[in-house]
Amino acid sequence: MVATRKRLSVDEYVEGFRARDRAVLARAITLVESDAPRHVALAQEVLTALLPLTGGARRVGISGVPGVGKSTFIDAFGTLLTQQGKTVAVLAIDPSSSVSGGSILGDKTRMAKLSRDEKAFIRPSPTSGTLGGVNRKTRETMLLCEAFGFDVVLIETVGVGQSETVVADMVDFYLVLMLAGAGDELQGIKRGILEVADMLAINKADGENEVYAKRARSEYQTALHLMRGHGGTWHPPVLTCSALLNVGLAELWAKIEEHHEKLGATGELAARRESQQVHWMWSMIEERLLADLRLTPDVRTLLPGLERDLRAGRVTATSAASAVLATFDQARR
């Protein structure tokens, strides 16, 4: 007979967080990731109780083009921070299979140094098909890590693309890693990324590639200047670094700290976080409404035939959407 673990109360979760019990942190994250109704309710109670302990961490999102070496970078960058005495939580978002729903949770093996560091905590989590490469529970997991007392929360996202800019709406600082020497430098970056990035860093700037990295730095800086001009408190810099050789990482962190100080002094950082809270609320509302719509029996009955008519050109997308919404509205009355 397999023994079941005792269900923790809200007070026990809070007590475990204050005692820095990592087993309790892991259980809390599993709780917020669960879709079971009884777990969802308890998770919200736990998060509400822990809210007074949140808000003290540096929230940094890290994206990058394929092959840029995000995990290697985070391993080296996180280790630099722990050597400075900081505690670091890494939320590594893994790609999920669109067929099986499975994911490749290999970040702990790709972050060898950091995974053994007592001041670090790595939590891989599947995207579960969520737009932007960020798990829909990542925001709540980030709050848990803050409440636990981590100084820095790094969020590694999948790939890079226009949809992935959603991560910029949940962090204080959005860092995009780029490569040099891979053809037309500006082809590898989307306009949406340029609009929201707080800094670009050209990784693997070592050996013969160092020359290409410096050239790419100039091109990216020009692109940022043309798109965003000189307005605002913060002008996104473009730096070069080598995670493999641990070169330039301290400069990157110095820029992140400078950004925090400047936007903190003007009140922009606080305003950004307040705006993010409202955006998160609407995201949750939209997600819940869409889930309820898809699960409504009358809608599920209507959809197959309606989709056939749509594909055959017998109805327009607008009229099909109106029919679905009307059916959903009637079912809820």
State the Cα–Cα distance between residues 283 and 130, nearest whole angstrom: 12
- Global pTM value: 0.86
243 and 94, same structural domain?
Answer: yes
CATH number at residue 21: 1.20.5.170
Give the contacts of 6 (CB within 8 A, at least 6 positions apart). Answer: none
| pLDDT of res. 97 | 40
Whether 286 maps to a domain, the answer reads yes
State the Cα–Cα distance between residues 67 and 271, nearest whole angstrom: 35
Whether 199 maps to a domain, the answer reads yes
Whole domain around residue 319: which residue ranges? Answer: 280-331
Which of residues 53, 75, 95 is at a domain's end?
Answer: 53
State the Cα–Cα distance between residues 163 and 205, nearest whole angstrom: 27
| pLDDT of res. 2 | 45
Whether 275 maps to a domain, the answer reads no
Which of residues 266, 291, 307 is at a domain's end?
Answer: 266
pLDDT along the chain (333 residues), means of 10: 73 97 95 87 95 95 85 95 97 57 51 92 70 67 96 83 70 91 52 83 91 89 78 89 95 98 96 92 87 94 96 95 96 89
| pLDDT of res. 159 | 61
298 and 212, same structural domain?
Answer: no
Which of residues 14, 36, 53 is at a domain's end?
Answer: 53
| pLDDT of res. 193 | 75
Burial 279-313 (b: 16+ CB within 10 A, else e): eeeebeeeeeeeeebeebeebeebbeebeeebeee
How many domains is the chain partitioned into structurally?
3
296 and 191, same structural domain?
Answer: no
| pLDDT of res. 201 | 95
| pLDDT of res. 109 | 62
